[in-house]
Structure 1
Amino acid sequence: MTEAAPNSGAGWRIVHTEHSLGWGGQEHRVLAELCGFQQRGSRVWLLAPPSACLFARAQEAQVAARPLETSKLRFAFSVVQLARWLKTRRIQVLNPHSSRDGWLAGLAGRLARVPLIVRSRHIDVDYPHRWLSRHAYTTLCDHVITTSDKITAHFQAMFGLPKERISTIPTGIDTRRFCPAGPKADWGVDAVRGPKIGMISVLRSWKGHATLLQAARRLKDQNFPARFIIVGEGPARAFILQQIGELDLSGVVTLAGHREDVPEILRSLDLLVIPSTAHEGIPQIGLQALATGTPVIGSDAGGIPEIVRPNETGSLFPAGDAAALAAAIRETLSNREKTAALCRRGRALVESQHSRDHMLDGLDALYRRYLSP
């Protein structure tokens, strides 16, 4: 997309940086913020490697995308070059999302005297060199945004951040796209046997696919008819295939690969499982499932309990406990009346607290707090 010259139009002048090359929840969030504020009248830019999935997606969405140079050999030059560009564009908000671009953008933003530098944290991880990381989240930024209260509390404990310098702003869901009414994915005749239990995520070790497969084996041993559909791609694919073979689950588990028709898939499922074992903020797929009225079972890892609330919006089980997950699946699919009530309350929760507009309003309020005269 060809960039226009700087102007004094309505809205903010916002830059997001992202070094990640993949396409998952974090990248979805970045694009949602870019598109959301652009639709509200702000000028927005994405700085990312041209080979990144997010770079292409931003261009498809008519968001201005510029190459981000993150080579260690050219680091100092890249900092100066980016600082010059930020100053020329009179950027008001600079928001890095990953480690490498965080250092680059943070230093460049300070050199350019960008009024507000925000760092986003999407997952919950420990930092082995906290004394160094503390500078990334204090010296080189003005405010930290996380996607769940669990991550916020962890950051405050790790880096001693005062509450006025960190906020929880979960990712907002497009409730018009993710709604109960609409078409459903067609899985073919083979998938009709029994209820369809799904898992949608990047295929990573900590997402808990092993727990789901162990639960599937238990249910198969109990002659409980069900079809398990795993949607997504990622580095753990080979391990998952190996587990399916070793547990003799090829007849009941489908690896569907990467799919774009997520609302249709969710409507087609009888149940969505989020069995993560670590690192989760508030998972977007959980919010999307609640918005479409799909029953949800989640582990108690990370920020999952903030939206999957027992006897209110879904069911929880101890992370890594396949027996407890199998029992929760049986209970959820057996008690239809209770499950329907959970789904109604889940949709209401998303509409009232986790819509796309709710997220954008929260970010806008943060920007105004720092930038309003």
Structure 2
Amino acid sequence: MRPDSRTPAPTGDARPLRIVQVLHSHGYGGAEQHALALMKGLRERGHEVLYAGPSDSWLAGRCAEAGIDHEHLAMVGMYDVVSWLRLRRLVARWRADIVHGHLLRGARYAGWACGRAAAVGTAHATTARKHMQDCRELIAVAEAVRRTLVDAGYDARRITVIHNGVADQPGGDRAALRRELGIGEDEFAVFNAGRFIPDKGQHLLVEAIGQVPGARLYLAGDPATDYGRGVQEAARGRAEVTFLGYRGDVRRLLPAFDAYASSSYREAFPLSLVEAACAGLPIVATDVGGVAEIVRDGQTGVLVPPGNAQALAAALARLAREPARAHALGRQARQLYAGQFTLEHMVTSTEAVYRRALQGGGAR
């Protein structure tokens, strides 16, 4: 087996660990959802978990709701000495075993302030700079991210690919949900959820859906951004486009739809696609970053080139014309999720990386 794609293996030390999770964020996205799910999963496995990050963040609020301890850490820029000292004292006072930093800034502070604890960093994007070099072990959320790290000069023996995972949870009743959302009985309903930023490319979906007979596009997310307002303007007067606004119940809604579409220009390994696969939806997505690791072209969905509304439209139109094929792709997406992208797999694999880090980690 290649060292850069090794499967984490647990060690003989099964004692509960004390783990500090470090993430600088004021928003709500895949990294934040990943970190929250990981903290909950680790706690369920008997570990003690503490979150260090801005106290006014979405993640701090969710940690409070979940009963996960939180320490304020501002992390102003990459070299905030006050935050470094605060984190270093916290790690020592709390007698942490692991300091796990997410994204470049979190990993920078984790490696910088870990003291006698072992630092682990997770790269959530296909961009990498030399801010993770002090982490003993690195986690990449996709093979595409691992390649970025290796290209940036990181030792492949220190990197483990652990894909984002989500818990298997039932959605709502399909017929009731379609009534709730006003989806017609014969309508081919296409769904997309995400932030309204240019990288997500929702304007392409608006352009594409008009070329798919009998289809309607449902967009979840807060459009109160310059880009979002532009997408709304492009869809003005278009009956085949519905804006649902921010929805905290996306997973409950997924069974209502016939397909999931992603038009991103840049991704690492989006949780939204894992959730769609878990719900058994066929996926049409742009072939960027690690998307092909879950959207297997012709098996679990359809890959199209980024920036191509016509290709998106053609793929969606074929799914609408061939419901048996769409259902088969959805079933296979669900099977792939169950085999590789569950929350349990993500948490246990991460725990194995922690224990390896405590033993000294990979080559430096």
**Partner Cα separation in structure 2 for residue 179 and residue 358 of structure 1:** 25
- List aligned pairs for 1:323-338, cutoff 5 A: 323-338=310-325
Aligned residue in 1 for 2:298: 311
**1:67 aligned to 2:72?**
yes
CA distance in 2, matches of 1:240, 1:156: 35
In structure 1, list runs of 5 or more residues that go unmatched. 1-8, 128-132
> Equivalent residue of 2:96, what SS?
coil
1:156 equivalenced with 2:150 (yes/no) = yes
Q: How does 1:229-308 map to 2 (within 5 A)?
A: 229-233=218-222, 237-246=225-234, 248-278=236-266, 280-308=267-295
* Residue in 2 that maps onto 1:211: 204
| Kept after mapping to 1: 8 A contact 2:17/2:98 | yes
Matched, 1:32 2:37: yes
Does 1:321 find its partner at 2:308? yes
Query: 1-side partners of 2:173 and 2:294: how far apart?
Result: 18
Relative distance call for 1:185 and 1:68 in structure 2 (3 A) is farther
Equivalent pair of 1:183/1:267 in contact (CA under 8 Å): no
Q: Which residue of 1 aligns with 2:7?
A: none
Partner of 2:102: 97
CA pair 85-190 structure 1, distance change in 2 beyond 3 A? closer
What whole-Å deviation, never above 9, does each CA across 1:3-41 have from its counterpart, x for those lacking one?
xxxxxx941111111111111111000001100000100
Aligned twin of 2:339: 352
CA distance in 1, matches of 2:21, 2:54: 12
Pair 1:66–1:195, CA change in 2 (3 A):
same
Instruction: State the alpha-carbon separation in 1 of the partners of residues 335 and 175 from structure 2.
Output: 18
Q: 1 or 2 for the larger relative contact order (CA 8 Å, sep ≥6)?
A: 2
Superposition pairs for residues 109-120 of structure 1, below 5 Å?
109=114, 112-114=115-117, 116-120=118-122
Shift of 1:179: 9.1
Structure 1 position 141 matched with structure 2 position 128: no
Q: Unaligned regions of 5+ residues in structure 2, if any?
A: 1-13
CA contact (8 A) 1:231 1:259 kept: yes
User: Does the 8 Å contact 2:78/2:108 carry over to 1?
Assistant: no
TM-score, length-scaled by structure 1: 0.86
CA-CA distance at 1:86 after TM superposition: 0.6
Q: Provide TM-score, normalisation by structure 2.
A: 0.88
Q: Provide closer, same or farther for how the CA distance between residues 105 and 162 of structure 1 changes in structure 2, counting only shifts above 3 A.
A: closer
1:99-129 Cα deviation digits (max 9, x unpaired): 44433332211xx221x2111111222x5xx
What's the % identity of the aligned pairs? 27
CA distance in 2 between counterparts of 1:272 and 1:201 reads: 12
CA distance in 1, matches of 2:348, 2:46: 14
Q: Which residue number in structure 2 is paired with residue 199 of structure 1?
A: 192
Query: CA 1:191–1:183 in 2, change beyond 3 Å: closer, same or farther?
Result: closer
Aligned-residue CA RMSD (Å): 2.4
